[in-house]
Protein backbone atom coordinates (compact mmCIF):
# COMPACT_ATOMS: atom_id res chain seq x y z
CA UNK A 1 0.00 0.00 0.00
CA UNK A 2 2.91 2.38 0.73
CA UNK A 3 4.11 2.60 -2.87
CA UNK A 4 0.61 3.32 -4.18
CA UNK A 5 -0.08 5.85 -1.42
CA UNK A 6 3.11 7.82 -2.03
CA UNK A 7 2.62 7.78 -5.78
CA UNK A 8 -0.91 9.10 -5.41
CA UNK A 9 0.19 11.90 -3.09
CA UNK A 10 2.83 13.01 -5.55
CA UNK A 11 0.19 13.18 -8.25
CA UNK A 12 -1.81 15.62 -6.13
CA UNK A 13 0.72 18.25 -7.13
CA UNK A 14 1.04 17.43 -10.82
CA UNK A 15 -1.51 17.60 -13.61
CA UNK A 16 -1.73 14.39 -15.60
CA UNK A 17 -4.93 14.67 -17.62
CA UNK A 18 -8.10 16.66 -17.27
CA UNK A 19 -9.93 13.53 -16.02
CA UNK A 20 -8.09 13.43 -12.72
CA UNK A 21 -8.63 15.64 -9.68
CA UNK A 22 -6.93 15.79 -6.26
CA UNK A 23 -10.01 14.06 -4.84
CA UNK A 24 -9.36 11.11 -7.19
CA UNK A 25 -5.77 10.84 -5.96
CA UNK A 26 -6.92 10.82 -2.33
CA UNK A 27 -9.62 8.22 -3.05
CA UNK A 28 -7.08 5.98 -4.75
CA UNK A 29 -4.51 6.35 -1.96
CA UNK A 30 -6.99 5.63 0.83
CA UNK A 31 -8.94 2.83 -0.88
CA UNK A 32 -9.41 -0.49 0.90
CA UNK A 33 -7.14 -2.70 -1.20
CA UNK A 34 -7.42 -6.46 -0.81
CA UNK A 35 -3.92 -7.95 -1.05
CA UNK A 36 -2.73 -11.51 -1.66
CA UNK A 37 0.94 -12.54 -1.56
CA UNK A 38 1.68 -14.64 -4.65
CA UNK A 39 5.22 -15.48 -3.59
CA UNK A 40 8.67 -14.53 -4.89
CA UNK A 41 7.90 -10.83 -4.59
CA UNK A 42 4.63 -11.00 -6.56
CA UNK A 43 1.40 -9.55 -5.19
CA UNK A 44 -2.22 -9.32 -6.27
CA UNK A 45 -4.31 -6.28 -5.23
CA UNK A 46 -7.92 -5.41 -5.92
CA UNK A 47 -10.32 -2.65 -4.90
CA UNK A 48 -13.48 -0.79 -5.82
CA UNK A 49 -12.90 2.96 -5.79
CA UNK A 50 -14.97 6.06 -6.55
CA UNK A 51 -12.93 7.80 -9.27
CA UNK A 52 -13.79 10.31 -12.01
CA UNK A 53 -17.37 10.46 -10.72
CA UNK A 54 -17.74 6.74 -11.39
CA UNK A 55 -17.24 3.37 -9.70
CA UNK A 56 -13.97 1.72 -10.70
CA UNK A 57 -13.16 -1.93 -10.00
CA UNK A 58 -9.42 -2.52 -10.39
CA UNK A 59 -7.30 -5.66 -10.07
CA UNK A 60 -3.50 -5.73 -10.37
CA UNK A 61 -0.66 -8.22 -10.24
CA UNK A 62 2.80 -6.79 -9.65
CA UNK A 63 6.08 -8.71 -9.69
CA UNK A 64 9.82 -8.04 -9.97
CA UNK A 65 10.77 -8.77 -13.56
CA UNK A 66 14.19 -10.08 -12.50
CA UNK A 67 12.61 -12.88 -10.42
CA UNK A 68 9.96 -14.03 -12.89
CA UNK A 69 9.68 -15.23 -16.46
CA UNK A 70 7.38 -13.05 -18.56
CA UNK A 71 6.09 -15.01 -21.54
CA UNK A 72 3.98 -14.12 -24.56
CA UNK A 73 1.62 -16.97 -25.39
CA UNK A 74 0.14 -17.28 -28.88
CA UNK A 75 -2.28 -20.05 -29.89
CA UNK A 76 -2.42 -21.41 -33.45
CA UNK A 77 -5.74 -20.57 -35.05
CA UNK A 78 -7.84 -21.00 -31.94
CA UNK A 79 -8.83 -19.26 -28.76
CA UNK A 80 -8.83 -20.07 -25.07
CA UNK A 81 -9.76 -18.25 -21.90
CA UNK A 82 -6.98 -16.26 -20.25
CA UNK A 83 -7.16 -18.60 -17.25
CA UNK A 84 -6.65 -21.57 -19.57
CA UNK A 85 -3.66 -19.88 -21.22
CA UNK A 86 -2.14 -19.31 -17.79
CA UNK A 87 -2.71 -22.87 -16.64
CA UNK A 88 -1.28 -24.33 -19.86
CA UNK A 89 1.83 -22.18 -19.43
CA UNK A 90 2.15 -23.37 -15.80
CA UNK A 91 2.11 -19.68 -14.88
CA UNK A 92 1.44 -17.93 -11.61
CA UNK A 93 -0.51 -15.14 -13.32
CA UNK A 94 -1.81 -14.21 -16.75
CA UNK A 95 -3.56 -11.37 -18.54
CA UNK A 96 -5.21 -11.27 -21.96
CA UNK A 97 -3.14 -10.03 -24.89
CA UNK A 98 -3.70 -7.81 -27.91
CA UNK A 99 -6.32 -7.29 -30.62
CA UNK A 100 -7.55 -10.11 -32.85
CA UNK A 101 -10.17 -11.18 -35.39
CA UNK A 102 -12.98 -12.58 -33.25
CA UNK A 103 -14.15 -14.99 -35.99
CA UNK A 104 -10.81 -16.56 -36.86
CA UNK A 105 -8.78 -15.81 -33.70
CA UNK A 106 -6.08 -14.39 -35.96
CA UNK A 107 -3.95 -11.70 -34.29
CA UNK A 108 -4.21 -8.30 -35.97
CA UNK A 109 -1.16 -6.81 -34.30
CA UNK A 110 2.51 -7.73 -34.45
CA UNK A 111 3.26 -10.88 -32.43
CA UNK A 112 6.64 -12.57 -32.15
CA UNK A 113 7.36 -15.60 -29.97
CA UNK A 114 10.86 -17.10 -29.76
CA UNK A 115 11.93 -15.14 -32.85
CA UNK A 116 8.98 -16.41 -34.92
CA UNK A 117 6.62 -13.75 -36.26
CA UNK A 118 3.07 -15.02 -35.73
CA UNK A 119 1.07 -11.86 -36.33
CA UNK A 120 1.31 -8.52 -38.10
CA UNK A 121 -0.38 -5.19 -37.44
CA UNK A 122 -3.20 -4.58 -39.91
CA UNK A 123 -3.85 -1.10 -41.37
CA UNK A 124 -7.09 -0.83 -39.40
CA UNK A 125 -5.20 -1.11 -36.11
CA UNK A 126 -2.87 1.83 -36.73
CA UNK A 127 -5.31 4.21 -35.00
CA UNK A 128 -4.48 2.65 -31.63
CA UNK A 129 -1.53 0.25 -31.95
CA UNK A 130 1.50 2.42 -31.19
CA UNK A 131 3.39 0.52 -28.49
CA UNK A 132 4.95 -2.81 -27.66
CA UNK A 133 5.91 -5.09 -24.80
CA UNK A 134 9.15 -6.82 -25.72
CA UNK A 135 11.23 -9.51 -24.02
CA UNK A 136 14.96 -9.52 -24.59
CA UNK A 137 16.15 -12.80 -23.13
CA UNK A 138 15.26 -16.50 -23.23
CA UNK A 139 14.53 -16.55 -19.50
CA UNK A 140 11.93 -13.78 -19.87
CA UNK A 141 13.39 -11.56 -17.17
CA UNK A 142 14.27 -8.51 -19.26
CA UNK A 143 11.05 -6.76 -20.21
CA UNK A 144 10.71 -3.44 -22.06
CA UNK A 145 7.53 -1.45 -22.74
CA UNK A 146 7.77 1.49 -25.12
CA UNK A 147 6.21 3.43 -27.98
CA UNK A 148 6.78 1.73 -31.32
CA UNK A 149 5.35 2.10 -34.82
CA UNK A 150 5.28 -0.46 -37.64
CA UNK A 151 8.49 0.86 -39.20
CA UNK A 152 10.37 -0.31 -36.11
CA UNK A 153 9.21 -3.93 -36.20
CA UNK A 154 12.30 -5.16 -38.14
CA UNK A 155 14.53 -3.70 -35.42
CA UNK A 156 12.35 -5.32 -32.76
CA UNK A 157 12.66 -8.68 -34.53
CA UNK A 158 16.47 -8.39 -34.54
CA UNK A 159 16.91 -7.17 -30.98
CA UNK A 160 14.22 -9.03 -29.01
CA UNK A 161 13.23 -12.65 -28.54
CA UNK A 162 9.46 -12.12 -28.15
CA UNK A 163 7.17 -9.11 -28.56
CA UNK A 164 3.51 -8.14 -28.60
CA UNK A 165 2.25 -4.89 -30.15
CA UNK A 166 -0.82 -3.16 -28.71
CA UNK A 167 -1.93 0.30 -27.76
CA UNK A 168 -2.32 3.03 -27.28
CA UNK A 169 0.56 3.89 -25.01
CA UNK A 170 -0.86 5.34 -21.81
CA UNK A 171 2.34 6.42 -20.07
CA UNK A 172 5.76 6.94 -21.65
CA UNK A 173 8.88 8.20 -19.91
CA UNK A 174 6.88 8.76 -16.75
CA UNK A 175 4.45 11.11 -18.49
CA UNK A 176 0.84 10.59 -19.45
CA UNK A 177 0.30 10.30 -23.20
CA UNK A 178 -2.69 12.38 -24.29
CA UNK A 179 -4.80 11.78 -27.41
CA UNK A 180 -7.03 14.21 -29.26
CA UNK A 181 -9.56 11.78 -30.68
CA UNK A 182 -13.34 11.62 -30.64
CA UNK A 183 -13.31 7.91 -31.49
CA UNK A 184 -15.50 6.04 -28.99
CA UNK A 185 -12.65 3.62 -28.30
CA UNK A 186 -10.86 6.53 -26.64
CA UNK A 187 -13.76 8.50 -25.19
CA UNK A 188 -16.24 5.89 -23.91
CA UNK A 189 -15.84 3.86 -20.75
CA UNK A 190 -14.92 0.23 -21.40
CA UNK A 191 -13.18 -2.57 -19.54
CA UNK A 192 -9.43 -2.05 -20.02
CA UNK A 193 -6.36 -4.25 -19.69
CA UNK A 194 -2.83 -2.88 -19.53
CA UNK A 195 0.74 -3.79 -18.71
CA UNK A 196 3.21 -1.35 -17.21
CA UNK A 197 6.50 -0.96 -15.39
CA UNK A 198 7.57 0.88 -12.27
CA UNK A 199 10.97 2.57 -11.95
CA UNK A 200 12.00 -0.12 -9.45
CA UNK A 201 11.78 -2.81 -12.15
CA UNK A 202 8.37 -4.22 -11.21
CA UNK A 203 6.01 -5.23 -13.99
CA UNK A 204 2.32 -4.56 -13.28
CA UNK A 205 -0.63 -6.26 -14.96
CA UNK A 206 -3.88 -4.31 -14.60
CA UNK A 207 -7.53 -4.90 -15.42
CA UNK A 208 -10.09 -2.14 -14.99
CA UNK A 209 -13.49 -3.84 -15.01
CA UNK A 210 -16.44 -2.35 -16.86
CA UNK A 211 -19.93 -2.75 -18.32
CA UNK A 212 -21.47 -3.28 -14.89
CA UNK A 213 -23.03 0.05 -13.93
CA UNK A 214 -22.63 0.94 -10.27
CA UNK A 215 -20.14 -1.89 -9.70
CA UNK A 216 -17.61 -1.33 -12.46
CA UNK A 217 -18.24 1.52 -14.88
CA UNK A 218 -15.08 1.05 -16.95
CA UNK A 219 -12.61 3.73 -18.02
CA UNK A 220 -11.86 5.95 -20.98
CA UNK A 221 -8.32 5.86 -22.33
CA UNK A 222 -7.55 9.10 -20.45
CA UNK A 223 -8.91 7.60 -17.22
CA UNK A 224 -6.95 4.39 -17.77
CA UNK A 225 -3.81 6.51 -18.14
CA UNK A 226 -4.64 8.28 -14.85
CA UNK A 227 -4.97 4.94 -13.09
CA UNK A 228 -1.66 3.83 -14.57
CA UNK A 229 0.04 6.92 -13.13
CA UNK A 230 -1.66 6.45 -9.77
CA UNK A 231 -0.16 2.95 -9.74
CA UNK A 232 3.27 4.51 -10.13
CA UNK A 233 3.93 3.29 -13.67
CA UNK A 234 6.61 5.02 -15.72
CA UNK A 235 5.53 3.11 -18.84
CA UNK A 236 2.12 1.62 -19.56
CA UNK A 237 0.60 -0.01 -22.63
CA UNK A 238 -3.11 -0.58 -23.24
CA UNK A 239 -3.97 -4.13 -24.29
CA UNK A 240 -7.17 -5.54 -25.76
CA UNK A 241 -10.14 -4.61 -23.60
CA UNK A 242 -13.90 -4.98 -23.56
CA UNK A 243 -15.04 -8.57 -23.18
CA UNK A 244 -11.44 -9.77 -23.60
CA UNK A 245 -10.20 -8.15 -20.38
CA UNK A 246 -9.28 -10.77 -17.78
CA UNK A 247 -6.69 -11.20 -15.04
CA UNK A 248 -5.98 -14.60 -13.48
CA UNK A 249 -3.67 -16.02 -10.83
CA UNK A 250 -2.96 -19.66 -10.06
CA UNK A 251 -3.56 -19.05 -6.37
CA UNK A 252 -6.94 -17.27 -6.66
CA UNK A 253 -8.36 -18.03 -10.09
CA UNK A 254 -9.90 -15.18 -12.10
CA UNK A 255 -9.45 -12.04 -9.98
CA UNK A 256 -11.05 -9.51 -12.33
CA UNK A 257 -14.69 -9.43 -13.39
CA UNK A 258 -14.71 -10.29 -17.12
CA UNK A 259 -17.70 -8.76 -18.84
CA UNK A 260 -18.45 -11.14 -21.70
CA UNK A 261 -21.36 -12.64 -19.76
CA UNK A 262 -22.66 -9.16 -18.85
CA UNK A 263 -22.60 -9.98 -15.13
CA UNK A 264 -20.39 -8.68 -12.33
CA UNK A 265 -18.75 -11.98 -11.45
CA UNK A 266 -15.62 -13.92 -12.28
CA UNK A 267 -17.17 -16.25 -14.85
CA UNK A 268 -17.40 -14.04 -17.96
CA UNK A 269 -14.10 -14.78 -19.70
CA UNK A 270 -13.91 -14.57 -23.49
CA UNK A 271 -11.69 -16.85 -25.54
CA UNK A 272 -8.60 -15.02 -26.83
CA UNK A 273 -5.69 -16.15 -29.05
CA UNK A 274 -2.86 -14.66 -27.03
CA UNK A 275 -1.90 -13.42 -23.61
CA UNK A 276 0.94 -12.59 -21.28
CA UNK A 277 1.86 -15.26 -18.71
CA UNK A 278 4.11 -14.84 -15.68
CA UNK A 279 5.99 -17.66 -14.01
CA UNK A 280 8.19 -17.45 -10.93
CA UNK A 281 11.86 -17.95 -11.84
CA UNK A 282 14.00 -20.73 -10.48
User: For each successive 10 residues of the chain (282 residues), what is the average pLDDT?
Assistant: 41 45 92 97 98 97 98 96 98 98 97 98 97 97 97 97 98 97 97 98 98 97 97 98 98 98 97 97 72
Per-residue pLDDT, 129: 98
Per-residue pLDDT, 11: 42
Residue 281's nearest CA partner among 87, 67, 71 is 67
CB-count exposure of residue 154 (10 Å: 0-12, 13-18, 19+): exposed
Per-residue pLDDT, 21: 84
CA-based end-to-end distance of the chain? 27
Per-residue pLDDT, 115: 97
| Max Cα-Cα span within the chain | 48
CA distances from 174 to 15, 133, 235 (A): 13, 16, 6
Residue 102: HSE in the Cβ half-sphere, 13 Å Cα cutoff: 7
The answer to whether 226 and 25 are in contact (CB under 8 A) is no
Per-residue pLDDT, 281: 79
Instruction: Indicate the number of domains in the chain.
Output: 1
- Show the domain range for 276: 2-280
Q: How far apart are CA 135 and CA 203, in angstroms?
A: 12
Q: How far apart are CA 231 and CA 198, in angstroms?
A: 8
Amino acid sequence: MTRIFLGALLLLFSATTAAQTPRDSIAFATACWQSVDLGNGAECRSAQIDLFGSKQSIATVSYPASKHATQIVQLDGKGAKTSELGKAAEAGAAINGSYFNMKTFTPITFVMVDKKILGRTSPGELMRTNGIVAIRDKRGRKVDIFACDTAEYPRIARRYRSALAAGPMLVSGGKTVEYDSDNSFYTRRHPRSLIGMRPCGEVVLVVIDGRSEGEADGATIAEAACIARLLGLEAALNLDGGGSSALWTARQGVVSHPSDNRRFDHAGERAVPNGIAVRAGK
